[in-house]
Structure 1
Amino acid sequence: MKLPQLAGMLLVGIASIGASTSCTSDGKSTVGQTKVLANGDTVSTDSVASTILPIDTAKYDAAIKKNANGDTTGKWPVKNQPYPLAGAILPFKRIVVYYGNLHSKKMGALGEYAPKEMWRKLNVEVKKWEKADPAIPVQVGLHYIASVASGTPGKDGKYINRMGNKQIDSVLKIAAMQKNTIVFLDLQVALSNLKDEIPHIAKYLELPYVHLGIDPEFSMKDGSKPGKKIGKYDAADINYASQYLADVVKKHNLPPKVFVVHRFTQGMVTNYKNIKLHPEVQIVMHMDGWGEPELKKGTYRNHIYPEPVQFTGFKIFYKNDLKRAPKRLMTPEELLKLKPAPIYIQYQ
């Protein structure tokens, strides 16, 4: 993955969030929310099902067993994981997202195309997954890089460009173009850290349809400039973010958050056995290396499969995956044969 370059720091806009809770005639709790964007527009945040039902534990067990694809090593499905709170997306749906940043056409499909064209292309991918695995509904989403590692230090010397509220609001508005869309805000912390960076997106994480992604590649704990070497997160970092999300879910009575951790080398994540699971958070270890199909499958087999955390993801690069022979993209049918089958799919 090439180091993203954005010019200058962005101004921070102002947004406000309002929420209301009510009960239906049958006693089921519903949540209705609106968000006022920085430009004054109002967008409904009823992007996910408003009625939250308790999970079916038998269905959950059957789904994670099926997802293990017959693994006989005992690694998958992950043992002794807590059942999620009501409203959990995984493993009942497969998440399919477009990834990118609105200020760069080189960082992914989200940003490369105008919103209507982007949605047209993403829905083509959704239909492919619905055809390949009709038993699991697709949960569509947008995965936005909310802080971008930079080649220049910036005013605070952290080598990071934080997207302002106005830019994030624009992504929420694009998400609202299609019903039931979820949004991921991704952090590349560079020389900063999760404790200092998560507060910049805190109010968005209080929304029921906004989730979190973190990228160890750009976590430069040794002070190196981003892009000079691959960074890393320890289980302690992942646990900090996961606990933060769990606290948000409990405080605001939200459905579980999906928490995506990028990975394509062994050193990017350390002490995986110490990663803690919560009913309020669903962790996805996401294979985001690029290359030909056999290389990508090898990365998944060597760095995702042997270190089980909870769920897995897989990234398809529209351009980088075509650089080497056989110059083709992996298909949903191929990905469904992996052990375990990835439940989060990202297109860049």
Structure 2
Amino acid sequence: MPVLGLLLAPALLPSCSTRTDAEAAGTATADSAEAAKPVVIDSVQLQAQAMRRDSLKADSIVKASGQLPGAILPGKRIIAFYGNIRAKGMGILGREPKEQMLAKFRKVQKEWQEADPSIPVQPALHSVTITAQAAAGKDGKYRLMNSKATIDETIQWAKDNNAIVFLDVQVGLSNLPNELHKLEPWLKDPIVHMGIDPEFAMETKGVKPGRKIGTYDAKDVNYAINFLARIVSENKLPPKILTVHRFTQGMVTNYKNIKLDPRVQVVMHMDGWGNPTLKKDSYKAYIEKQPVQYTGFKLFYEYDARPAPHHIMTAKEVLSQLNPKPLYIQYQ
């Protein structure tokens, strides 16, 4: 929305004309009144100009040094546990008691580090923070945000264990412009990053979550990138990471129109479950064949191993059988 600002009237210089004093006074009064009128400032345009300047500056740094200071990718491989600390049914993050979960988490990190000693492991907690709901809620948008206490506690768990955090967003019948700003206070923390989940983006589908698989277009991904880039610039932060979940063709449309920004590192994350052959085929079809920047791969404790003899892929299997080798690994 435009912001109004006042422009001070310029000093009046002596006139070189032959006007009468009355005429001159009248003109001065009119000129002063005109100059004192509020000037409309297009804050959206000014913000866009600042974003472009910051993006160009970031581009120049990347060209000179390879990446922005503090960038996590591609220098590390992120190993994440997914879920919600208050919900057993959403993933490993909340399924087991805290210390038992953290012990398993450390074991998984060790497995990945041993499988590829050439790249350090970066642990992460990936927390579903705005969650799609079966009930419409007061505004009919079928989503619910975690409490401040839950978000704060999740971030503290991460800090206590040298991990970063991803706040994941399932918008239901809402949309990213109406939801992402709610997370901005936490995203100002250098260790906090973001994920968006097209599966539960139902605004264009017109049905509640769970009835169909949702979708995001490149313009939605670009909105999230620009949102994070602004936070990085305004708060002088290292680059943020944006994970985009995907396991079908229609979940992300027009991927070639996604516009990358050095301030935001984008991970296209293969989110499907099933036997190893199915998972590898999905990765090839939707991640390898439609590349954006970095890649991710999810492993499901509850679903990948069913039915026998299916199994959860090991770190060595993932690294040897997927191309490109994913730099973001998530366990649910």
Q: TM-score, normalised by structure 1?
A: 0.76
Given the alignment, which residue of 315, 323, 327 partners 1:339? 323
Paired amino acid for 2:107: V
Alpha-carbon distance in 2 for matches of 1:56, 1:145: 31
Aligned equivalents of 2:245 and 2:61: distance in 1?
27
Tell me how far 1:326 sits from its aligned partner: 2.1
Work out the CA distance in 2 between the residues paired with 1:319 and 1:55.
44
Pair member with larger Rg: 2
**Structure 2: how far apart are the matches of 1:279 and 1:251?**
15
Distance 2:125 2:148 in 1: 16
Task: Please say if residues 55 and 88 of structure 1, whose CA atoms lie closer than 8 Å, have aligned partners that are also in contact.
Answer: no
Q: Indicate the residue corresponding to 1:245 in structure 2.
A: 228
Change beyond 3 A, Cα 1:56–1:160:
closer
Q: Counterparts of 1:342 and 1:114 in 2: how far apart (Å)?
A: 29
Instruction: Give a deviation string over 1:299-329, Cα, whole Å, max 9, x none.
Output: 1011111001000000000011011342311
Q: 1:336 aligns to what SS in structure 2?
A: helix
- Secondary structure at the residue paired with 2:208? coil
- Structure 2 residue 183 is matched with structure 1 residue 183: no
Matched, 1:130 2:118: no
Equivalent residue for 1:106, pick from 64, 76, 89? 89
1:177 aligned partner, one-letter code: D
Tell me if the contact between 1:232 and 1:268 (Cα under 8 Å) persists in the aligned partners. yes
Give the superposition deviation at 1:56.
8.9
Q: Any idea what the Cα deviations from partners look like across 1:162-183, whole Å, max 9, x if unmatched?
A: 112111011012112213x100
Distance 1:190 1:217, change over 3 A: same
Corresponding residue for residue 211 of structure 1: 193
Q: Name which of structure 1's ranges 140-149 and 319-328 shifts more when overlaid on structure 2.
A: 319-328
Partner of 1:102, secondary structure, is coil
Q: CA RMSD in A?
A: 1.6
Structure number with greater CO (CA < 8 Å, separation at least 6) is: 1
In 1, the alpha carbon distance for the partners of 2:143 and 2:291 equals 31
Q: Is the 8 A contact 1:98 1:109 kept in 2?
A: yes
1:201-280 superposed matches below 5 A: 201-220=183-202, 221-280=204-263
- Measured in 2, the distance between the counterparts of 1:214 and 1:152 equals 20
Query: In structure 2, how many angstroms separate the alpha carbons of the residues matched to 1:91 and 1:324?
Result: 35
1: distance between equivalents of 2:285 and 2:159? 38
Separation in 2 of the partners of 1:131 and 1:219? Answer: 37
242-251 or 99-108, which deviates more? 99-108
Cα offset, 1:255, TM superposition: 0.4
Q: Does structure 1 residue 160 correspond to structure 2 residue 143?
A: yes
Whole-Å Cα distance in 2 between the matches of residues 247 and 146 of structure 1?
Answer: 21
Report if the CA contact (8 A) 2:132-2:200 is conserved: yes
* CA distance in structure 2 between the aligned counterparts of 1:316 and 1:131, rounded to whole angstroms: 18
**Cα-to-partner distance string for 1:82-131 (whole Å, 9 max, x where unaligned):** x5311100000000010001232111010112221111001110000010
| Residue type of the alignment partner of 2:177 | K
Alignment: residue pair count: 271
1:161, distance to aligned residue in structure 2 (A) = 1.3
Instruction: Give SS of 1:135's match.
Output: coil
Distance 2:99 2:91 in 1: 15
* CA offset digits 1:34-71 (Å, max 9, x no partner): xxxxxxxxxxxxxxxxxxxx99979x9xxxxxxxxxxx
Percent identity reads: 53
SS at match of 1:334: helix
Shift of 1:210: 0.2
Q: Distance in 2 between matches of 1:326 and 1:184?
A: 33
Structure 1 segments of 4+ aligned residues over 4 angstroms from their partners: 54-58
Q: Does the 8 A contact of 1:84 with 1:281 survive in 2?
A: no
2: CA distance, partners of 1:191 / 1:198: 14
1:13 is aligned to none
Secondary structure of 2:80 counterpart: strand
Instruction: Report the AA paired with residue 131 of structure 2.
Output: V
Q: Given that residues 149 and 189 in structure 1 are in contact (C-alpha distance below 8 angstroms), is that contact kept between their aligned partners in structure 2?
A: yes
Partners of 1:316 and 1:240 in 2: how far apart? 28
Give the Cα separation in 2 of the matches to 1:142 and 1:115.
12
Aligned equivalent of 1:304: 287
Tell me, in whole angstroms, the C-alpha distance in 2 between the residues paired with 1:208 and 1:287.
Answer: 25
Give the Cα–Cα distance (whole angstroms) in 2 for the partners of residues 232 and 326 of structure 1: 33
Secondary structure of 2:160 counterpart: coil
Cα distance in 1 for partners of 2:179, 2:313 equals 34
